[in-house]
Amino acid sequence: MLDLMGIAVRGLLHRKKRSWLTITGILIGITAVVALVSLGESMQLAVRRSFEELGYDVVMILPGELGGGFGGPSSFSTSFELDTESLTEVEGVEEIGLLNFQSVYVKADGNEGFLDALGVSENIFSFFKVEIVAGRGFSPDERGVVILGREVARELDLRAGSTLQIEDHPFKVVGIYSADSRLDEDAIILPLADLQELLGEEGVTMALVRVAPGDDVGQTAKRIENFLYRSRGRRDLSVQTMEEVHEVVQRALGILGAFLGGIAGIALLVGGIGVMNTMYTAVLERTREIGVMKAVGARNSQIALIFLMESGLMGLVGGALGTGIGSFLNFAAVTAAKRALGTRVLEYGISWWLVLGALGFSFLVGAIAGLLPARAAAKLDPVEALRYE
Amino acid sequence: MRDEAIVELLGVWKIYHMGRRGRITVEALRGVDLAVRRGEFLAVMGPSGSGKSTLLHLMGCLDRPTEGKVLFEGTDVSTMRSAALARIRNRRVGFVFQSFNLSPNLTALGNVELPMVFAGVPRRERLARARELLSRVGLRERERHLPAELSGGEQQRVAIARALANFPDLLLADEPTGNLDSETGHGVLSLLSETNVEGVTVVVVTHDPEVATAAKRRLRIRDGHIVEASDA
């Protein structure tokens, strides 16, 4: 077996340029598969990390039905009023965090314009972490203060201690946060009460409820839903456990991943056809050699195996290089996304099953592409093959 | 006599169908009866297209007759499966061709090893045998050379070494000196004679009178019939 492999390798080396060109075809296909599939994995990883950070013991209350809008602060603009005191009485509810996403008009040192603002209840940082890179966070009951995204601070040339005008009210910058907070760097965070006062309304756009330890998250969510229906008389709010939300997002990403994988699969198919083409040419070119091998006693199965090994090897080499390049591209994309968007929508990650799968699959593509040419070689009539010029 | 035959042809016809849809039929052999005795050196002579090569291919189990029987050591090989025929070619027969037919991407050593690779001989044993054979044909120091780096005579000597790799009983040579100058051809002929002296049955198809003279028995073939036989 190993000796037949030696013959196969020499066959490949004998037509180096063509072998490499064929390998490049597989390489491109596998690069596309690995890059796109690992990109999908990176997205899923980032999503999973976000949910883990928020915790699966958290229930979300949102206006309307879940779906479509889970993407970023600006997509939650419908506000609603919530009787938090009564909600706290519901069995299993431990803590309620409130959020309000709005656009506000900001002035600072001659710069002015609209910015995304996130009004938060003071306990919100126990739900998700905000990475403060300069200054500090809010103190309890503190008012008239704001934390800026690093991007905003840079553009407005502000630092901790500076002041700015939000809707014509003065605010003091107490801290700067970075994108490691999973919050875009081009937004600002201020106390919920301040934002509500500026906008003259009592509403929030999202509420996070932490379920008490030992209480079932799903059942608590049901109780909250019932409470909301009873107290409001209508179903205008949806209650989602993190698990449900995660599932929806994961399913969407799964479909996206399968779609991208399918496109990459086409590239790989083209690569496979390239291998088949090369192998047919090789069989034709080496017809006489095949005749000689048969004359010196090679069995049909041995001839077929030599050609299968050649095509499989081309697949494997293309696959190995493609996996390397593909995972590098994924790494580059994650890094670029972090720089350009200033947020962690991607998290670099490549799984062993993807690497091993890509290698196995590329060998398989090569071998399958070589199947028919190898059969053609094995079936050659030795006398005719020897006569072939 | 018959018991001594290594290969025997009984009423063998070989008809090729050529051209589009195989409409043109060529009768390469027309009812040939022939017994090759163990240990003999037989020369088959005849003009081009007379069926010499076909005869050789049938003796070497490289082809099956259209009609009649080919007995290899008394066993009818005409109906054998291709794997069984491959086994006979591998272990019992050695082929030498006019155009050497060495594998261009294998070294001299690799080419001699080839039949042993297909026979599953372990590497160490294979290398020792291949080197011994290359020494015997005077090419031990050129074992790392590719066929393209060897002269015609050298290539044919490598081909003979390859043919002898698995200790065959029967060596079949198709115009072995056809592409060589007379001096080089003489060297190759000596190798074939030596091989025969060592007990290997040799059948040579040739135009070359010198080769024919070296043989112990000569046959002349014309239009698919054996027309003349003579013992030296």
Closest CA to B50 of B29, B32, B36: B29
Mean pLDDT of A190-199: 90
| Closest residue on chain A to B162 (Cα) | A296
Which stretch, A196-210, A221-235, A309-323, has highest mean pLDDT?
A: A309-323
Q: Please state whether beta strands A187-191 and A111-120 pair in parallel, antiparallel, or not at all (unpaired).
A: parallel
Looking at A214, A235, A256, which one is the last position of a domain? A235
Asked whether the beta carbons of residue B97 and residue A386 sit closer than 8 angstroms, the reply is: yes
The C-alpha of B221 sits at a distance from chain A's nearest C-alpha, in angstroms, of 20
| pLDDT over 90, % of chain A | 31
Query: Are residues A175 and A277 both part of a single domain?
Result: no
- Considering only CB atoms, which chain B residues are within 8 Å of A296? 89-90, 95, 114-115, 118, 162-163, 165
Query: Tokens standing for B126?
Result: 């294979």
Per-residue pLDDT at B134: 95
Residue A159 covered by a domain: yes
Q: What's the whole-number average pLDDT of chain A? A: 86
What are the pLDDT digits (tens) for A327-371? 898 888 888 877 776 556 677 777 788 889 889 999 999 999 999
Q: Is A227 inside any structural domain?
A: yes
> Which of A67-81, A84-98, A289-303 is the most confident on average?
A289-303
pLDDT of residue B213 exceeding 70, the answer is yes
Residue A241 lies in a domain: no
pLDDT at B203 over 90: yes
Is pLDDT at A253 greater than 60 in this prediction? yes
A243 part of a folded domain = no
Note whether B114 contacts A386, CB cutoff 8 Å. no
Q: Which residue has the tokens 């932490």?
A: A210
**Per-residue pLDDT tens over the stretch A130-150:** 888 888 888 878 889 999 988
Work out how many CB contacts closer than 8 A connect A with B. 74
Chain A residues inside the 8 Å CB shell of B123: 3
CA dist A207 → A115, A119, A238 (Å): 22, 12, 11
Separation CA B82–CA B75 (nearest Å): 15
pLDDT at A180: 67
Alpha carbon dihedral A24, A29, A34, A36, in 10-degree steps, equals 130
Cβ proximity of A12 and A310 under 8 Å: yes
The predicted structure's pLDDT at residue A64: 74
Report the C-alpha gap between A83 and A144 in whole angstroms: 24
Reading the block at residue B192, the tokens are 């074939």
In the listed set A179, A206, A235, which residue is the last one of a domain according to the structure?
Answer: A235
Chain B residues with CB-CB distance to A295 below 8 A: 60, 62, 89, 95, 97, 101
Judge if A108 and A230 occupy the same domain.
Answer: yes
Average pLDDT of chain B to the nearest whole number: 91
- Residue from A65, A47, A60 nearest A254 by CA: A47
What residues are paired with A105 via a beta bridge?
A114
Question: Between the CA atoms of A40, A45, A46 and A51, what dihedral angle is there, to the nearest 10 degrees?
Answer: 130
What pLDDT was estimated at residue A75? 44
Higher pLDDT, B217 or B47: B217
How much is the pLDDT for B199?
93
> Could B90 and A297 be called an inter-chain contact, meaning their C-beta atoms sit closer than 8 Å?
yes
Residue in A closest to B55 by C-alpha:
A383
Q: Does residue A59 lie in a domain region?
A: no
Query: Which residues in A lie closer than 8 A to residue B90 (C-beta atoms)?
Result: 296-298
A310 and A370 in contact (C-beta within 8 Å)? yes
Query: Mean per-residue pLDDT for B125-149?
Result: 94
pLDDT of residue A65: 57
For residue A80, give the DSSP letter. Answer: B
Question: CA–CA separation, A13 vs A317, rounded Å?
Answer: 13
- Is the confidence at residue A260, as pLDDT, over 50? yes
CA distances from A220 to A59, A228, B123 (A): 9, 12, 72
Average pLDDT over residues A167-193: 85
To the nearest whole Å, the CA of B212 is away from the closest chain A CA by 24
Instruction: Please indicate, yes or no, whether residues A185 and A252 belong to a single structural domain of this protein.
Output: no
**In contact, A285 and A14? CB cutoff 8 Å:** no
Residue A205: CB partners within 8 Å, gap ≥ 6? Answer: A62, A63, A76, A77, A78, A79, A80, A99, A100, A101, A102
Calpha distance B25→B224 (Å, rounded): 13
B91 touches chain A (CB under 8 A): yes
Cα separation values, B150 from A344, B132, B187, Å: 65, 19, 15
Q: Is A340 buried (19+), middle (13-18) or exposed (0-12) by CB count in 10 A?
A: exposed
Buried residues in A277-289 as b, exposed as e (16+ CB within 10 A): ebbbebbeebbbb
- Interval B63-68 mean pLDDT: 93
Query: In whole angstroms, how large is the CA radius of gyration of chain B?
Result: 17
Better pLDDT: B56 or A339: B56
Token pair belonging to A175: 């801290």
Regarding predicted confidence, which is higher, B146 or A238?
A: B146
H-helix or E-strand containing B8? strand B5-18
Instruction: Examine the domain organization and report whether A254 and A275 are in the same domain.
Output: yes
Is A56 a member of any domain? no
Q: Two tokens at A27?
A: 């390489």
Per the structure block, which two tokens stand in for A93? 């509810």
Does B114 contact A293 at a Cβ distance shorter than 8 Å? yes
Flag whether A60 is in a domain: no
What pLDDT, on a 0 to 100 scale, did the predictor assign at position B232?
Answer: 58
| pLDDT, tens digit, 9 for 90 and up, residues B148-193 | 999 999 999 999 999 999 999 999 999 998 888 888 888 889 999 9
Instruction: Find the CB nearest B86 among A10, A288, A294.
Output: A294
Q: How far apart are CA B53 and CA B49, in angstroms?
A: 8
Residue A77 — very low, low, confident or very high, per pLDDT cuts 50/70/90? low
Task: Inform me whether the pLDDT recorded for A188 exceeds 80.
Answer: yes
Give the per-residue pLDDT at B2: 42
Q: CB of A98 within 8 A of CB of A84?
A: yes
Nearest of A39, A8, A19, A90 to residue A260 by alpha carbon: A39
A22 has a pLDDT exceeding 70:
yes
Same domain, A274 and A366: yes
Domain count for chain A, please give it: 2
Query: Residue B25 has which token pair?
Result: 């039929």
Rg (CA), chain A: 31
**Residue B205 burial (10 A CB sphere; 0-12, 13-18, 19+):** buried
Chain A interface residues facing chain B, Cβ-Cβ under 8 Å? 3-4, 6-7, 10-11, 13-14, 288-289, 291-302, 382-383, 386
Is pLDDT above 90 for A250? no
Q: Is the ipTM of this complex over 0.85?
A: yes
Give the residue, A245 or A169, on which the prediction is more confident: A169
Domain span at A207: 65-235
pLDDT at position B194 is 93
* A198 and A294 part of one domain: no
State pLDDT tens for residues A214-227.
889 889 999 998 99
- DSSP-derived secondary structure for A53-70: HH-TTEEEEEES-SSS-T
Contact map slice: B 143-162 vs A, CB within 8 A: 162
The answer on A331 and A276 residing in a single domain is: yes
Task: Examine the domain organization and report whether A117 and A196 are in the same domain.
Answer: yes
Alpha helices in chain B (DSSP H): 52-59, 82-91, 108-119, 123-136, 152-163, 182-197, 209-214
- Do A165 and A22 share a structural domain? no
How many Cβ atoms sit within 10 Å of the Cβ of residue A29?
Answer: 29
In angstroms, how far is CA A366 from the centroid of its own chain?
A: 29
| Residue from B101, B111, B144, B170 to probe the interface with A (highest A Cβ count within 10 Å) | B101
Interface mutation target, options B16, B48, B105, chain A, most CBs of A under 10 Å: B105
| Boundary of a domain, candidates A235, A267, A299 | A235
Say whether pLDDT at B86 is over 90. yes
CA–CA distance, A281 with B183 (Å, rounded to integer): 39
Determine, for residues A299 and B82 on separate chains, whether the beta-carbon distance falls below 8 Å. yes
- Give the gap in angstroms from C-alpha A255 to the nearest C-alpha of chain B: 49
Residue type, A169: H
Instruction: Clarify whether residues A159 and A79 are in a common domain.
Output: yes
Pair (A216, A110) in one structural domain: yes
Residue matched to tokens 């076909």: B54
Residue A242 lies in a domain: no
Both A11 and A131 in one domain: the answer is no
